[in-house]
Amino acid sequence: MSTVSLLGLSAALLLAGALVSLVLGGRRKASGWASVGFVGAAGVALWAVVVRTFSAGPDPEVTLLSLPAIGAGFVVSVDCLSAIFLAITGTIGFLTTLYSVEYMTRYRTDSVAKYYPLLQLLFAGIVGVVATGDFVFFLVFWELMTFASFFLVTFEREVRANQRAGFKYFVVNQAATFGMIAAALILWTRSGSFRFSAMRDALGGLVTTQPALAHLVLFLFFMGFATKAGILPMGDWLPDAYPAAPSGATAAFGGTMTKLGVYGLLRVFLYFLPLSPVTRTWGLAIALAGAVSLFVGTLTALKQDDIKRLMSFHVIGQVGYMFLGIGLGLFFLPSNPTLAALGLLAGTFHMINHSLYKSCLFLGAGAVAFRTGTRSLSALGGLRAFMPATAMYALTAALAIAGVPPLNGFASKWLMYATAILGGKAFPLFAVLGIVAMFISLVTLASFLKYLGSAFLGPPSPLRGVREVPASMLVPQAFLALACVVFGLVPAWPLAFVHRALTGLASAASLPRLESLLGDGPGLQAGSDLVRVAFWAPLPIAAALALLGLAAYFLIQRAAGAPVRNVPVWTCGEEAGPELSRYPATSLYLPFKRAFQGIYPSIHLRAPAFPSWLRRAFDLDAWLYLPVARAVEGGARAVSRTHVGIPQVYLLWIVVGAIAVVGIVLAFLG
Amino acid sequence: MNTGLLWTVGLAVLSVALALLLAPLYEGLMRKLKAAIHSRIGPPITQPYLDLFKLLGKEDLRTAGGLLYTAAPALSLGSVLLLALLVPMGARPPFAFAGDIVVLLYVSAISAVLLMLTAFGSGSPYASVGSSREMMMLLSVEPVMVVALVVGALKAGTLATGDIIAWQLEHGPTISMAIAGIAFFLALQAQAGKLPFDIPEADQEIMGGPLIEQSGPRLALFRWAAWSKQFVLAVLLVEVFLPWPGTGVFALDLVLTLVKAFVVLVVVALVDVVNPRLRIDQAMQYYLRVAFSSIAALAFAVIGM
């Protein structure tokens, strides 16, 4: 089957799934399992597109629908970059839907009819965004995605905070989208077409003739995508909106939707924008924006007590890393192809890694909330004893995001540091940014040690009856955690696909070959053919660590055969229960957190007050239903007052009635 | 087997053996020195070996279970020995093909991560306080080490530890590397857990902090890991920032490195013995200043000095 028909099939499956799950909305599990089936089948179709695109090369563009009046058309265009996003969407989409089946039983009053259909529309929107080659339809799918996710954010209608978060999300993202529409229109006035290739020509012309206007266009695109990705300060909506959605949807947002900001960035700056000095300027801007985001976002995350809010701030921080890597790559693109390739690979690979571990972390946080009913770190503790599998996956993903070698987070961060430090020779600021990024990587570690230490380790919390989550919630976490390990141990494998995706973009077509960049051995040896300057070989390191650790355990620790005894925690002779001797999460790193107080001014976007007459006009209860109901009720009461229950009175009424009837009849006849 | 592989394997075994077997000796010498300054006789130089030997046979009291908690002490020592493979000792590091300075910095943090996870797992509030302090010390110290090593990388244009040293030997001392070396030395004091920066363990206030619930062989392994780490980082310091004269004869270079590392640790012990413990916020401020001062080294490196 061709790419177009496979994509059509997956879209049809997602839409059919939305419909079926809507019809089945009254039956939680049935609706969920139906969605799993449809999303899974769509995922298989998407993976077929991915395999086809990478093995046989991208199919030529197909125009399904043409609107010559405005120069738009529904162009299906899947290149290797799109394919990577399709693979992520197919995988994460399926896993989060599977996870949701059990998770959604948590909501007793809210119907799943407003969850599964929207989740599948969200996936359909994402597929549309990455598979289209025309900006009008790009925006259509972009908006579909925004609408679906808006309703997922405001899923719990009774919670006012969630409503506010959803409103903020909607307003901020719509504003950003309007900017992108303006940018697209500026380009359209030049070329008269919304096709990506035409927009590329138009932008290329602008860069040489009207650089100021070109910068404006790029700025508007950048704002649009950075807002979706969660780059600060535009990403301020993110830590409010993400925790509000059900955990399955949050994981889908973190794993797929945020990443479309990165997709857009790559598409605009590596395809729309021809290689020029402008690329360099914007590379610097993007790198700086990324650095600010990773610094402020991650330090703010350290202070959070709500698990999902903590992780949402880390989304901002991690997106900062991606922007830093891509920014570095763009900066060096005109001058130093080797460093450019390393930076772009780092940013894009980090995006894939982030999809894996952040989805896993959100699912784990959801599992904790599912069993304990709370997301507050101060209220949790000792869950490892009751939820060992969830704890293990959370540990893996947490170490991966903190960049502990040899997990996947380290591989992409290593590439990024290498680019930043080596690029520091040409542009010293980048060395400083690299150092900042390494420092922030430690802050990430601190933050996730707090999560692990407070939720899973330590004395058990007073919560009772906590047990492991069902298998259908564990399998997605297990898969993602395993993927974190595999991508960490053999980074060369995913990097080969990323490299193909990047060189498929017109402005990056002349990047050096992968073997020239990273060597052809199993380990990564960054540099050029002439000189290798950075080394990271995960397999030998992991093997040595395992070997030395085992040797230390069996040849040293167990050699003397010391007896083992389990004892209670020593509290200095004081009889203190776990409630008294707990060290709460809020106390961790207090002096450090104080040092960075006030780094994140929180913005409270208020919903504007509707004009009162308009609200009254919409308030049908007040002026239609209630008055009518009151009139009906009053009338009924008046009638009922005549019913006194005394036979004589009824007889009297009959007599009076009969006389009246006779009188009327006589009057008419006469 | 070709000679290159044989050399790598031999060097790897030697590095691990040195880090494992020589580290307690250095600690013993430091104790002896401290005792001399206190006008005490002090324990024999072999006391750390005896301590380890005794602890390995003692009863292992555990407050928690689980795979990670069980494996953490051994993995912690294993990670420090892995660090020894990435650090040059008289020659290029045996694992030079597998890791550069970035890898080295991250591997050096693994033992701290395992210690903190163990501490949280043990369930003692003192251990949690200790972990919190350990993390804050790491947050303060690691940037200083990063800046110091990045200066070397900037100057040499490579991240490979061996190549940075080769560059140093070729170009001689520079202002930027001197500043970076001093910064790295100041960071070593905290990495070794010596006064005035033994805040995470602070025996007199929080009773060993992260280690409070560790006993017997587990305690022995954590202690051994800490001593080995202090030795390996001292070797790293002298190899990267003071590689001279660099005779090219392996045995001679190795002996020189060990002597220089000893001198560095003597200075660490001297600082330890004449200073009282700082509070955690004071230590953080101190290292913040060190970090910002070491940025000067970056500036010098950029202008080629």
Residue A57 has pLDDT above 90, yes or no: no
Per-residue pLDDT of B189-220, as tens digits, reads 999 888 788 888 888 888 888 898 888 899 99
Backbone angles phi, psi at A201, to 5 degrees: -60, -45
Given this model, what pLDDT does residue A35 score? 92
Mark the ranges of chain B whose per-residue pLDDT is less than 70: 1
Nearest one of A440, A450, A482 to A316, comparing CA atoms: A440
Put simply, whether B295 touches A (Cβ < 8 Å) is yes
Q: Which of A62-71, A149-158, A329-338, A610-619 has the highest mean pLDDT?
A: A329-338
- Average pLDDT value for residue range A633-642: 87
Terminal alpha carbon distance of chain B: 44
Please give the Cα distance from A329 to A287 (Å, whole number): 9
Residue A611 has pLDDT above 70, yes or no: no
- Average pLDDT value for residue range A465-469: 84
Average pLDDT, chain A: 88
Given this model, what pLDDT does residue B148 score? 92
Q: How far is CA A11 from CA A37, A116, A133, in A?
A: 14, 15, 16
**What number of residues does chain A have?**
670
Backbone angles phi, psi at A304, to 5 degrees: -75, 150
**Sign, CA torsion B196/B200/B206/B212:** negative
Cross-chain residue pair A414–B78, CB shorter than 8 Å: no
- Band (pLDDT 50/70/90 cuts) for residue A578 is low
For residues A201 and A273, is the Cβ–Cβ distance under 8 A? no
Please tell me the distance in Å from A342's CA to the nearest CA on chain B. 14
- Average pLDDT value for residue range A230-245: 86
Given this model, what pLDDT does residue A507 score? 82
Residue A610 has pLDDT above 70, yes or no: no
How many residue pairs bridge chain A and chain B with CB atoms within 8 Å of each other? Answer: 253
**Sign, CA torsion A106/A95/A407/A285:** negative
In B23-181 the beta strands, taken as DSSP E runs, fall at: 60-62
Residue A607 has pLDDT above 60, yes or no: no
Residue A609 has pLDDT above 60, yes or no: no
Please give the Cα distance from B52 to A35 (Å, whole number): 59
Per-residue pLDDT of A344-377, as tens digits, reads 999 999 999 999 999 999 999 999 988 888 888 8
Q: Which residues of A touch B213 (CB under 8 A)?
A: 569-570
Cross-chain residue pair B100–A581, CB shorter than 8 Å: no
- Band (pLDDT 50/70/90 cuts) for residue A84 is very high
Residue A628 has pLDDT above 70, yes or no: yes
Residue A632 has pLDDT above 90, yes or no: yes
Q: Which of A109-123, A324-338, A600-614 has the lowest mean pLDDT?
A: A600-614
Q: Which residues of B touch A453 (CB under 8 A)?
A: 116-117, 120, 128, 131
Cross-chain residue pair B78–A548, CB shorter than 8 Å: yes
Given this model, what pLDDT does residue A225 score? 92
**What number of residues does chain B have?**
305
Given this model, what pLDDT does residue A606 score? 58
- Domain residues for the domain of B256 are 3-302
Query: Three-state SS across A231-247?
Result: CCCHHHHHHHHHHHCCH
- Average pLDDT value for residue range A250-262: 90
Per-residue pLDDT of A501-526, as tens digits, reads 998 888 888 888 888 888 877 788 88
Residue A593 in tokens:
């957190």
- Average pLDDT value for residue range A427-437: 92
Given this model, what pLDDT does residue A258 score? 87
Cross-chain residue pair A544–B113, CB shorter than 8 Å: no
- Band (pLDDT 50/70/90 cuts) for residue A602 is low
CB-count burial class (<10 Å; 0-12, 13-18, 19+) for A618: exposed
CB proximity under 8 Å: B 42-101 to A: 56-66, 68, 71, 73-75, 77-79, 81-82, 85, 95-100
Please give the Cα distance from A103 to A469 (Å, whole number): 9
- Band (pLDDT 50/70/90 cuts) for residue A432 is very high
Per-residue pLDDT of A419-429, as tens digits, reads 999 998 888 89
Given this model, what pLDDT does residue A605 score? 55
Candidates B133, B139, B147, B167: best to mutate against A (most CBs of A within 10 A) is B139
Q: Which residues of B touch A553 (CB under 8 A)?
A: 71, 74
Residue A460 has pLDDT above 80, yes or no: no
Per-residue pLDDT of B228-242, as tens digits, reads 999 999 999 999 998
Given this model, what pLDDT does residue A608 score? 55
- DSSP secondary structure string, A302-330? TT--BHHHHHHHHHHHHHHHHHHHHHHHH
Residue A575 sits at the vertex; the CA angle it makes with A569 and A579, to the nearest 5 degrees, is 75
Residue A444 has pLDDT above 60, yes or no: yes
Given this model, what pLDDT does residue B180 score? 92
Backbone angles phi, psi at A564, to 5 degrees: -110, 135
Q: Would you say the ipTM is above 0.90?
A: yes
Q: Which residues of B touch A424 (CB under 8 A)?
A: 150, 154, 302
Higher pLDDT residue, A221 or A160?
Answer: A221
Nearest one of B152, B151, B150, B241 to B188, comparing CA atoms: B241
Q: Where are the alpha helices (DSSP H) in A302-456?
A: 307-332, 337-372, 388-401, 408-423, 429-451
Q: Which of A395, A523, A550 sits opposite B68 (nearest CB)?
A: A395
Residue A642 has pLDDT above 80, yes or no: no
- Closest residue of A to B285, CA-based? A595
Put simply, whether B170 touches A (Cβ < 8 Å) is no
- Closest residue of B to A524, CA-based? B98
Nearest one of A205, A362, A127 to A370, comparing CA atoms: A362
**Domain assignments of chain A as residue spans, ordered by start:** 277-553, 622-669
Given this model, what pLDDT does residue A395 score? 93
Put simply, whether B123 touches A (Cβ < 8 Å) is yes
Residue A488 in tokens:
């960490």
